[in-house]
Amino acid sequence: MVARRLFAMLALGLAVSGCASIETATRNAPLDGTPVAPVSAPIPVSVDVQEINVTVPRDLKVSEANRYYPSGDIVWREDPPGDRHAQVKAIVEAALQRGVDAMGGGQVPAILDVEVTRFHALTEKARYTVGGVHALQFKMQLRDPETGLPYGPPQKVKADFRALGGQAAIEAEREGITQKVRITEHLAKVIQDELSRPEGHQAARLGVMGAINQL
List pLDDT tens digits, range 51-110: 999 999 999 999 999 999 999 999 999 999 999 999 999 999 999 999 999 998 888 999
In this structure, is residue 31 part of a structural domain? no
- The b/e string for 31-61 (b: 16+ C-beta within 10 A; e otherwise) is eeeeebbbbebeeebbbbbeebebebeeebe
pLDDT of residue 199: 80
pTM, whole model, 2 decimals?
0.80
pLDDT of residue 14: 32
Q: With contact defined as beta carbons under 8 Å apart, do 157 and 197 qualify?
A: no
CA distance 55 to 97: 14
In this structure, is residue 140 part of a structural domain? yes
Number of domains in the chain: 1
In this structure, is residue 20 part of a structural domain? no
Instruction: Check whether the bond before 44 is cis (ω within 30° of 0).
Output: yes
Higher-pLDDT residue of 26 and 144 is 144
Higher-pLDDT residue of 172 and 5 is 172
Q: Provide the pairing of β-strand 47-55 with 108-120.
A: parallel
In this structure, is residue 40 part of a structural domain? no
CA distance 204 to 189: 13
Q: With contact defined as beta carbons under 8 Å apart, do 6 and 47 qualify?
A: yes
Range of the domain at 64: 46-212
Give tens-digit pLDDT for 121-133. 999 999 999 999 9
